[in-house]
Chain A
């Protein structure tokens, strides 16, 4: 919708085990002009992450088999400069869980707060280039 956004070409990988939440979040991000790919678990996400580059990964923390913190660590092992935002239903996550992410947000915050954080992190990336 906002085609003049310099970030419109940015690619985001969205990971969550909740299909409804994932679909809606994808819609939200696409409305902002991002290109979004989704995965419903850590393994699928890592497979996608290996095959193509993403400007940002939006990770749910609580997922069966592999939680967000484990996925983040694995991604940083592949690409240490990977930009990752942790999204969690829990108000506080243990310190260790946030070691390999750029930011952590609580689910249920205002969508604009989420979008702002994402755009900040991506543009920081761009300026850093």
Chain B
């Protein structure tokens, strides 16, 4: 129920009783007025009656006075008579006034008046007749008495009539009184019951409305709860990571993927600043990337994050991520939060990098073909020419020509090693281990002499293995390159190749140990060494060298193992590559797998 309805109910529940009470008061007032008038009339009758009695007495006083005088002829007896005469006049006048509304009484009073007038004429006559005889004669006495009796009777009748009138009036007022009481009771009952009824109805309505309101709000709460549940399960089931924040940038929701990538649990993260939970830096510069909350606020629209963004999780793991931030607005369009959606694109990123590497290799292959043709042809001619000149030379010239030929051979060797990295044959051929290692070393000539790295070699020329020379070259150039990276300046490298005799199921082969006195590899890193993209060299490294090398060695049916120490006094690393003499392809027999397991143990030892 709306508050407006509620206050309306309150208003009517006050207004209606007030109105009813006012009507009742009006009715009661009117009835009281009626009763009062009725009582006034009774009062008037009482006054008329008493006035009549007084008038009668005044007349009796006159008669008594007259009679006394007539008997005694003493003036003091005439005093009451004389006093009464004006009194009677005024009394009669007032009576006629009082009964002005009642014509029968007026008539009666008229008769009384005329009877009185007759008596007055009689009395005048008696007073003027000085003979005591006349005065005391029986006849004249009888005449006076008769007149007075007539007056008395007339009064009696009038008073009776007035009494009747009064009785009627009293009855009327009693009726009114009864009516008044009755109606008062009736009104009270009606008012009381109607108030009770009305109030009950209102209260019932109110309580009904209240019940409905409660039910409504309960239903709404359930609906809201369901909706909430739905939204949060949806968010939680999304395959991408989702973090929502309030307008201040404090985390309010995180789904499982987001928890996994950031390393935070939702409980830990809730209420924390987004920057603390969602740490992002630029992959190249390692500088913090602009906080998405302020970015969204600034742009006021959906924003994507910059490229090369790396998310650093709580435990330090880094993920390449691709993400976007969107503002959350309320119905008024105010910014109430921000939702971030991001994805782990580490794999894609590395794939792209591999692709780039592969593309580079392909490009290098094409380039090498061109270089081969454009360099080897003139090189061949110059070599031959020098050889011809040499045959005709002697002394100083011969020495010079020899020098020239020697240098030319170096050029030829380098180009051949470089170009051979990109060639491949389809079937394995016998490969001289010494030749492979020498050609790889010649690739690193500059680096070796520049860094003054000492190289110790033990490479018997008789050692051959069957395989793909270019691939094997790649293996050793990776290992030697890594070793040179690890030793830096003034380091030492040793390359030792030796024959291994057949033993049990293991065929005869060649083992090559490449050892350095470089930094060594930590225990942690040892286990990740052969994983693709594992590198400690940042942008300088690709992290695919060892992974590719292991693939190649596996393909040749060989093993690769590593031993390393980071101890201060004997740090260094040695990689041992073992290759079978006869190419047998990747080995799958269980026995050999055990052997390879041993190799693996070595790797992680």
- Could you tell me which A residues sit within 8 Å of B by CB distance? 1, 18, 20-21, 24-25, 27-28, 31, 62, 87, 89-92, 94-95, 106-112
Q: Known interface pairs A90-B373, A92-B470. Does A107 touch B380 (Cβ–Cβ under 8 Å)?
A: yes
Give Cα A25–Cα B379 distance, bound, in whole angstroms: 12
Partner of B372, one of A89, A94, A95: A89
Give Cα A23–Cα B568 distance, bound, in whole angstroms: 63
From residue A110, how far is it (CB to closest CB) to chain B in Å?
Answer: 6
Of B1-9, B241-249, B393-401, B412-420, the stretch lying at the interface with chain A is B412-420
The answer to whether A108 touches B376 (Cβ under 8 A) is yes
From residue B389, how far is it (CB to closest CB) to chain A in Å?
Answer: 11
Q: Known interface pairs A106-B416, A107-B376. Does A28 touch B369 (Cβ–Cβ under 8 Å)?
A: no
Give Cα A87–Cα B379 distance, bound, in whole angstroms: 13
From residue A93, how far is it (CB to closest CB) to chain B in Å?
Answer: 8
Residue B232 is within 8 A (CB to CB) of chain A in the complex = no
A-B contact pairs, 9 of them (CB 8 A): A62-B373, A90-B423, A91-B419, A91-B423, A92-B420, A107-B380, A108-B411, A111-B387, A112-B387
Residue B93 is within 8 A (CB to CB) of chain A in the complex = no
Contacts of A31 in B (CB 8 A): 388, 391
From residue A108, how far is it (CB to closest CB) to chain B in Å?
Answer: 4
Residue B204 is within 8 A (CB to CB) of chain A in the complex = no
The answer to whether B377 touches A21 (Cβ under 8 A) is yes
The answer to whether B369 touches A94 (Cβ under 8 A) is no
A90 — nearest CB in chain B belongs to which residue?
B372
Give Cα A106–Cα B369 distance, bound, in whole angstroms: 13
Contacts of A18 in B (CB 8 A): 377, 381
The 7 closest A-B pairs by CB, nearest first: A92-B423, A107-B380, A89-B376, A108-B379, A111-B387, A108-B412, A107-B376
Contacts of A89 in B (CB 8 A): 372-373, 375-377, 380
Name 19 extra pairs, CB < 8 A, besides A24-B381, A90-B373, A109-B383.
A21-B378, A21-B381, A21-B384, A25-B381, A31-B391, A89-B376, A91-B368, A91-B372, A91-B419, A91-B420, A92-B424, A92-B470, A94-B426, A95-B427, A107-B376, A107-B379, A108-B379, A108-B383, A112-B387
Partner of B380, one of A27, A94, A108: A108
The answer to whether B387 touches A91 (Cβ under 8 A) is no
The answer to whether A28 touches B387 (Cβ under 8 A) is yes
Give Cα A94–Cα B424 distance, bound, in whole angstroms: 8
Contacts of A28 in B (CB 8 A): 384, 387-388
Contacts of A90 in B (CB 8 A): 369, 372-373, 376, 419, 423
Residue of A24, A89, A94 contacting most chain B CB atoms (<10 Å): A89
Give Cα A61–Cα B562 distance, bound, in whole angstroms: 43
Partner of B426, one of A27, A91, A95: A95
Contacts of A24 in B (CB 8 A): 381, 384-385, 388
The answer to whether A110 touches B383 (Cβ under 8 A) is yes
Contacts of B427 in A (CB 8 A): 95
A109 — nearest CB in chain B belongs to which residue?
B412
B469 — nearest CB in chain A belongs to which residue?
A92
B411 — nearest CB in chain A belongs to which residue?
A108
Give Cα A68–Cα B423 distance, bound, in whole angstroms: 18
How many residues of chain B have a CB within 8 Å of chain A? 32
Interface of B is mostly: helix
Residue B409 is within 8 A (CB to CB) of chain A in the complex = yes
Give Cα A75–Cα B551 distance, bound, in whole angstroms: 41
Contacts of A107 in B (CB 8 A): 376-377, 379-380
Residue B315 is within 8 A (CB to CB) of chain A in the complex = no
From residue A107, how far is it (CB to closest CB) to chain B in Å?
Answer: 4
Give Cα A110–Cα B372 distance, bound, in whole angstroms: 16
From residue B211, how far is it (CB to closest CB) to chain A in Å?
Answer: 92
Give Cα A92–Cα B369 distance, bound, in whole angstroms: 10
Contacts of B469 in A (CB 8 A): 92
A61 — nearest CB in chain B belongs to which residue?
B373
Give Cα A89–Cα B375 distance, bound, in whole angstroms: 8
From residue B278, how far is it (CB to closest CB) to chain A in Å?
Answer: 51
Q: Known interface pairs A21-B380, A90-B372, A91-B420. Does A108 touch B415 (Cβ–Cβ under 8 Å)?
A: yes
Give Cα A92–Cα B469 distance, bound, in whole angstroms: 10
Residue B234 is within 8 A (CB to CB) of chain A in the complex = no
Contacts of B377 in A (CB 8 A): 18, 21, 89, 107
The answer to whether A92 touches B376 (Cβ under 8 A) is no
Give Cα A95–Cα B424 distance, bound, in whole angstroms: 9
From residue B418, how far is it (CB to closest CB) to chain A in Å?
Answer: 9
Residue of B373, B377, B405 contacting most chain A CB atoms (<10 Å): B377
Residue B128 is within 8 A (CB to CB) of chain A in the complex = no
From residue A102, how far is it (CB to closest CB) to chain B in Å?
Answer: 15
B426 — nearest CB in chain A belongs to which residue?
A95
Contacts of B384 in A (CB 8 A): 21, 24-25, 27-28, 111
Give Cα A89–Cα B380 distance, bound, in whole angstroms: 9
From residue A42, how far is it (CB to closest CB) to chain B in Å?
Answer: 17
Residue B461 is within 8 A (CB to CB) of chain A in the complex = no
B418-454 Cβ-contact flags toward A at 8 Å (1 or 0):
0110011111000000000000000000000000000
Contacts of B411 in A (CB 8 A): 108
Contacts of B426 in A (CB 8 A): 94-95
From residue A20, how far is it (CB to closest CB) to chain B in Å?
Answer: 6
From residue A60, how far is it (CB to closest CB) to chain B in Å?
Answer: 9
From residue B243, how far is it (CB to closest CB) to chain A in Å?
Answer: 54
B344-369 Cβ-contact flags toward A at 8 Å (1 or 0):
00000000000000000000000011
B421 — nearest CB in chain A belongs to which residue?
A91
From residue A30, how far is it (CB to closest CB) to chain B in Å?
Answer: 10
The answer to whether A92 touches B380 (Cβ under 8 A) is no
The answer to whether A110 touches B381 (Cβ under 8 A) is no
From residue B557, how far is it (CB to closest CB) to chain A in Å?
Answer: 20
Give Cα A28–Cα B391 distance, bound, in whole angstroms: 10
Residue of A20, A31, A108 contacting most chain B CB atoms (<10 Å): A108
From residue A44, how far is it (CB to closest CB) to chain B in Å?
Answer: 19
Partner of B409, one of A27, A106, A110: A110
The answer to whether B419 touches A108 (Cβ under 8 A) is no
From residue B225, how far is it (CB to closest CB) to chain A in Å?
Answer: 72
Contacts of B376 in A (CB 8 A): 89-90, 106-108
A26 — nearest CB in chain B belongs to which residue?
B384
Give Cα A118–Cα B330 distance, bound, in whole angstroms: 89
The answer to whether B387 touches A92 (Cβ under 8 A) is no
Give Cα A112–Cα B405 distance, bound, in whole angstroms: 12
From residue A118, how far is it (CB to closest CB) to chain B in Å?
Answer: 13
From residue B472, how far is it (CB to closest CB) to chain A in Å?
Answer: 13
Contacts of A62 in B (CB 8 A): 373
B405 — nearest CB in chain A belongs to which residue?
A110
From residue A17, how far is it (CB to closest CB) to chain B in Å?
Answer: 10
Contacts of B391 in A (CB 8 A): 1, 31
